[in-house]
A and B are shown apart, each in its own frame.
Chain A
Amino acid sequence: SAVISQKPSRDICQRGTSLTIQCQVDSQVTMMFWYRQQPGQSLTLIATANQGSEATYESGFVIDKFPISRPNLTFSTLTVSNMSPEDSSIYLCSVEDVSRIGEAFFGQGTRLTVV
């Protein structure tokens, strides 16, 4: 199983600013995934990040709002840009064990509050 470290674990930010969330994995993985969990809602996939290529965004999410970097096989960042209170959520980084298709491993998440 993969061990995933996410930073920061929580933050309170002013509207209009940006926050970059870091995700570090203890092993090399092909794909990394970023999810959002809004209060009282299910986890929603934001995008899939492959090393060496642009991230693939799900419907409703755009690169200008959620730019993602994937510089190597163990690291990724998600930036929440020009934040508004509606961006207050838990953001989760996740990877997939290629030997267990569809099974996900998660970081502890970043609890973001925008004021």
Chain B
Amino acid sequence: AQSVSQHNHHVILSEAASLELGCNYSYGGTVNLFWYVQYPGQHLQLLLKYFSGDPLVKGIKGFEAEFIKSKFSFNLRKPSVQWSDTAEYFCAVNVGYGGSQGNLIFGKGTKLSVKP
């Protein structure tokens, strides 16, 4: 069965530190890849996505992610985090070309705490 693994349960950083959150998936076919973010007290929202083309995708608030097909990875990065980036981050994979949301598979999430 397909699965998504997020390597870190809780990451604690100081402001201005660089961030990389790991995400690996197990599926050999076509995938669409997402990172969702949930700020405290708010709903889940899309941070960035990859469907095709340039494997380095840029999202909101200075986040970017790189799709490495050979490693089945889609790691999230930010060169300098801010206190306002404190949130929980979820990696998700949609399997199958043109698949609907019904095929979304989520990782367990990584909680990011940024110390001011």
Q: Is the CB of A33 within 8 A of B45?
A: no
Taking residues whose C-beta sits less than 8 angstroms from the other chain, chain B's interface range is: 20 to 34
Q: Is the CB of B98 within 8 A of A106?
A: no
Q: Is the CB of B102 within 8 A of A45?
A: yes
Q: Is the CB of B106 within 8 A of A102?
A: no
Q: How far is the CA of A107 from the CA of B108 in the complex (A)?
A: 18
Look across to chain A and name the residue whose beta carbon is closest to the beta carbon of B41: A108
Q: How far is the CA of A105 from the CA of B92 in the complex (A)?
A: 13
Q: How far is the CA of A31 from the CA of B99 in the complex (A)?
A: 13
Partner-contacting stretch, out of A12-20, A35-43, A68-76: A35-43
Most buried by A among B43, B45, B103: B43
Q: Which residues of A contact B105 (CB under 8 A)?
A: 42
A23 to chain B: closest CB distance in Å? 12
Q: How far is the CA of A106 from the CA of B38 in the complex (A)?
A: 10
The reply on B70 being an interface residue by CB < 8 A is no
Look across to chain A and name the residue whose beta carbon is closest to the beta carbon of B91: A42
The reply on B44 being an interface residue by CB < 8 A is yes
The reply on A96 being an interface residue by CB < 8 A is yes
Q: Is the CB of A43 within 8 A of B90?
A: yes
B12 to chain A: closest CB distance in Å? 18
B60 to chain A: closest CB distance in Å? 13
- What would 17 more interface pairs be, CB under 8 Å, given A44-B106, A103-B46? A4-B43, A40-B108, A41-B108, A42-B107, A42-B108, A43-B90, A94-B101, A101-B98, A101-B99, A102-B32, A102-B100, A102-B104, A103-B49, A103-B101, A104-B44, A104-B92, A107-B43
Residues of A in contact with B (beta carbons under 8 Å apart): 4, 31, 33, 40-45, 48, 56, 92, 94-96, 101-109
